[in-house]
Amino acid sequence: MNREPAVREGARAGNPLRVSGPVLFGILNVTPDSFSDGGDFLAPEAAARHAEALLDEGANVVDVGGESTRPGSDPVPEDEEIGRVVPVVRKILEARPGAVVSVDTYRAGTAEAALEAGARIVNDVTALRGDPRMAALAADAGCPVVLMHMLGEPKTMQKEPRYDDVVREVRDFLAWRAEYAIAAGVKPENVILDPGVGFGKTLEHNLALLLHLDAIVDLGFPVLLGASRKRFLGSVTGADEAKDRVFGTVATTVLGYERGANLFRVHDVRANREALAVAEAVRGA
């Protein structure tokens, strides 16, 4: 399956996400320690080959990250993150000039370098709180920005996360960050919200957010779901290995789509693309 025409259509229209139907971000972690694919794509050539495979399977976007944010992970210095991400962005665009690349970072320096290399979306897991320069950079770049909810920080976020009402608190946080981004000059049509599955959340919190995802969709911005291969799926299905959590991931994609999410950040593009094709066909029947 080749989705290139939809991507080119989006590129011509200016907004890289203006494609019809649900949008898949294929995950490309250029890290030694990511929870499910750490070390697999450290060499730029291997990373670019994987990006091409993600695009051929139906990804609309390749989301490139140079620092793991898995629970317990440590930050890497900015120059190291840039050194991992930028050569990969360049290699992907050499191989596929029409591809839409997103950079998964909360550092303005990394985002800036990746945008200069041709990335067109910023995916910030701190929702513009991690670096005081990020909001202005995103506003100036005029690019879509993903604002994600996280309680605490990766090193400690899974140590007894607590909420009075997780859905209300995540929704209020995202509304606040959207307002902040827009006040800093990000165009409202460039704001994408993400409940941050697994970021400072227990199994019950993750399930409640999926059940009530429509409360976040109701804020009026596109919603991205990033549940792919995450640990809570293993808690439900018993799949201990991250790579064995594809079927659980697909369930979250279809449930999320039904509740109004339109963007999905996934490792296993073909499985999620086919599930979404069926969900779309049913919706259109």
Query: Which of 17, 23, 35, 222 forms a contact with ligand HH2 (CB under 6 A)?
Result: 35
In whole angstroms, the minimum distance from the beta carbon of 54 to ligand HH2 comes to 13
The answer to the question of residue 263 lying near ligand HH2 (CB under 6 A) is no
The answer to the question of residue 197 lying near ligand HH2 (CB under 6 A) is yes
The answer to the question of residue 27 lying near ligand HH2 (CB under 6 A) is yes
Active site residue 265: yes
Using CB under 6 A as the binding criterion, the count of chain residues that bind ligand HH2 stands at 21
* Per annotation, catalytic residue among 177, 230, 245, 273: 230
User: Please, which residue, 12 or 36, has the CB nearer to ligand HH2?
Assistant: 36
- Indicate the length of the chain as a whole number: 285
In whole angstroms, the minimum distance from the beta carbon of 155 to ligand HH2 comes to 12
* Per annotation, catalytic residue among 96, 201, 231, 265: 265
The answer to the question of residue 29 lying near ligand HH2 (CB under 6 A) is yes
User: Please, which residue, 8 or 197, has the CB nearer to ligand HH2?
Assistant: 197
Query: Which of 60, 68, 110, 126 forms a contact with ligand HH2 (CB under 6 A)?
Result: 68
User: Please, which residue, 35 or 257, has the CB nearer to ligand HH2?
Assistant: 35
Tokens of 228: 């792919």
The answer to the question of residue 150 lying near ligand HH2 (CB under 6 A) is no
User: Please, which residue, 8 or 129, has the CB nearer to ligand HH2?
Assistant: 129
Stretch that binds ligand HH2, among 39-47, 54-62, 157-165, 190-198 (CB under 6 A): 190-198
Tokens of 26: 């294929």
The answer to the question of residue 194 lying near ligand HH2 (CB under 6 A) is yes
The answer to the question of residue 226 lying near ligand HH2 (CB under 6 A) is yes
- Give the contacts of 284 (CB within 8 A, at least 6 positions apart): none
Query: Which of 82, 224, 266, 276 forms a contact with ligand HH2 (CB under 6 A)?
Result: 224
Q: What residue type is 6 in one-letter code?
A: A
Q: What residue type is 146 in one-letter code?
A: V
Residue 41: Cβ-neighbour burial (10 angstroms; 0-12, 13-18, 19+): buried
Query: Which of 265, 268, 269, 276 forms a contact with ligand HH2 (CB under 6 A)?
Result: 265
- What DSSP letter does each residue of the chain carry, written as one string? ---HHHHHHHHHTS-TT--SS-EEEEEEE-SS--TTTTTTT-SHHHHHHHHHHHHHTT-SEEEEESS--STTPPP--HHHHHHHHHHHHHHHHHH-TT-EEEEE-S-HHHHHHHHHTT--EEEETTTT-S-TTHHHHHHHHT--EEEE--SS-TTTTTSS---SSHHHHHHHHHHHHHHHHHHTT--GGGEEEE--TTSS--HHHHHHHHHTTHHHHTTSS-BEE--TT-HHHHHHH---SGGG-HHHHHHHHHHHHHTT--EEEES-HHHHHHHHHHHHHHHT-
Stretch that binds ligand HH2, among 6-14, 25-33, 160-168, 254-262 (CB under 6 A): 25-33
**Given the rule CB under 6 A, which residues bind ligand HH2?**
27, 29, 31, 34-36, 65, 68-70, 104, 123, 125, 146, 148, 194, 196-197, 224, 226, 265
Q: Which residues does the annotation mark as catalytic?
A: 230, 265
